[in-house]
Homo-oligomer: A and B are copies of this chain.
Amino acid sequence: MSKVFVIAQGGGPTAVINQTVAGAALEARRRYPGSQVLGARHGVRGLRDGHFFDLAALSDGDLKRLADTPNAALGSTRDKPDAAYCARILEQLDAAKADAFIYIGGNDTAGTLQILEKAGGDRMAFIHAPKTIDNDLVENDHTPGFMSAALFVAHAFLSVDLDFSALPGIYVGIVMGRHAGFLTAAAAAWKRGPKSGPHLVYPPEIPFSVEKFVEDVRAARDEYGRCIVAISEGVATDDGRPLIESLLGDALERDPHGNAQLSTGDLGVALQTELGAAFPKARARVDTFGYLPRAFSATVSPGDRREAFEAGAFAVTAAEHGSASIAIGSEKGPGAIRSVPLSAVAGKTRLMPSGFLDPANHMLTAEGRAYFDRMLPPRPDVFSLLDN
């Protein structure tokens, strides 16, 4: 029996978000031959305005090419629909005679689906397919998109640590992430030993003080001859305000929701100034990774690719049983993907477990390392004479 599926992508793109689209489209084709699969252009915005791509018209080959393309191939949006916006979305879904609406995104996306489900859940299924490089969805062991972004960050810190062992100095890499420190902590996933970097990791979950940071850097540099640091762009002072807010004050850029704009170079320049003052003779460099990690075409994780595809396929199956959020467990293979209620995920933020990182030495614990060992392929074999 043929059906009508509508699918959309929301929020920041990832390296594998198109896998989820392709997984859903191919599963719909396999399970319900003759189905319509409509992809909304630029997320709920295209859905509201009736701008669709006909995904059923794509060949299997083109869907596989689409799957392997990083970043959102249907376009995305930052819109957070209010009630009126949701009413227009429902009108479009009704007009399309949709059996299910699959929306790929983070916890805001699940929240939008919850609103839609309240208004129209008797007429179709609203399915949330998980996606976020922040890895901050509750009920999930990890989320599609995260493993690839983490792979970029791990490669970056492996490489920079070798670079700064050749030409010693202080290096700070600032990594995306407003509340959850998983991606920043990935910096230490391939740490080669106690002497090698990163030597310090600052996730947003642990209050940040510039004075303490400078002390930490001094101690690590004295001990190891160099100091490599990973800092989340979202680190906050102990009053809970983002560090960038206390550094920039009124000059701070804010997004339409009033949140501090974090992905600028300002935090980097401010930290560079602090390091220059504290270590006037040292080579100290700060890089803001910015948009590079989130969908870099050379660091797409094969496991991430596979899971994102399976999450899309599972979303189609789950739609038979009504609205749900798809969640990824820690198991491998069948059974790792399951359905949970939208309400279990919507609007909630999962932080990095406190057991993953020891705040006394700003480094992954054995528990944290074990988690990242599951998330990443083995560290590339490197051999440096400077390690001896």
Residue numbers of A with Cβ under 8 A of B are 9, 12-13, 39, 41-42, 53, 62, 65-66, 68-78, 151-152, 155-156, 158-160, 162-163, 165-167, 171, 253, 263-266, 268-269, 272, 276, 285-292, 294-299, 380-386
Contacts and interface: CB of A to CB of B under 8 A. Distances in A.
A373 to B, nearest CB: 18
21 contacts: A13-B167, A53-B385, A65-B382, A71-B159, A71-B166, A75-B165, A151-B298, A155-B296, A155-B297, A171-B291, A264-B272, A265-B287, A266-B272, A268-B288, A269-B269, A285-B290, A286-B290, A287-B288, A288-B290, A297-B380, A297-B382
Contacts of A69: 162, 381-384
A286 B171 CA distance: 20
Nearest to A156: B292
Contacts of A163: 13, 71, 291, 294-295
Contacts of A13: 162-163, 166-167
Given A383-B69, A386-B74, A12 B167 contact: yes
A380 B158 CA distance: 25
Q: Which of A70, A286, A291, A385 is the most central at the interface, judged by chain B CB atoms within 10 Å of its CB? A: A385
Contacts of A264: 269, 272, 285-286
Given A297-B380, A384-B71, A263 B291 contact: no
Given A69-B381, A73-B385, 6 more contacts: A13-B162, A69-B162, A73-B384, A159-B297, A160-B291, A264-B272
Contact of A162 (B165, B285, B295, B384): B295
Which of A42, A66, A74, A167 has the most CB atoms of chain B within a 10 A radius of its CB?
A167
A166 B62 CA distance: 19
A268 B268 CA distance: 10
A152 to B, nearest CB: 7
Nearest to A17: B166
A385 B46 CA distance: 13
A167 B17 CA distance: 14
Given A70-B159, A269-B269, A167 B297 contact: no
A130 to B, nearest CB: 18
Contacts of A68: 381-383
B292 A289 contact: yes
B159 A78 contact: no
A310 to B, nearest CB: 20
Q: Which of A156, A159, A380 has the most CB of B within 10 A?
A: A159
Contact of A159 (B53, B253, B289, B296): B296
Cβ-closest 9 pairs across A and B: A287-B290, A71-B162, A72-B166, A65-B383, A265-B268, A265-B265, A69-B382, A73-B384, A155-B298
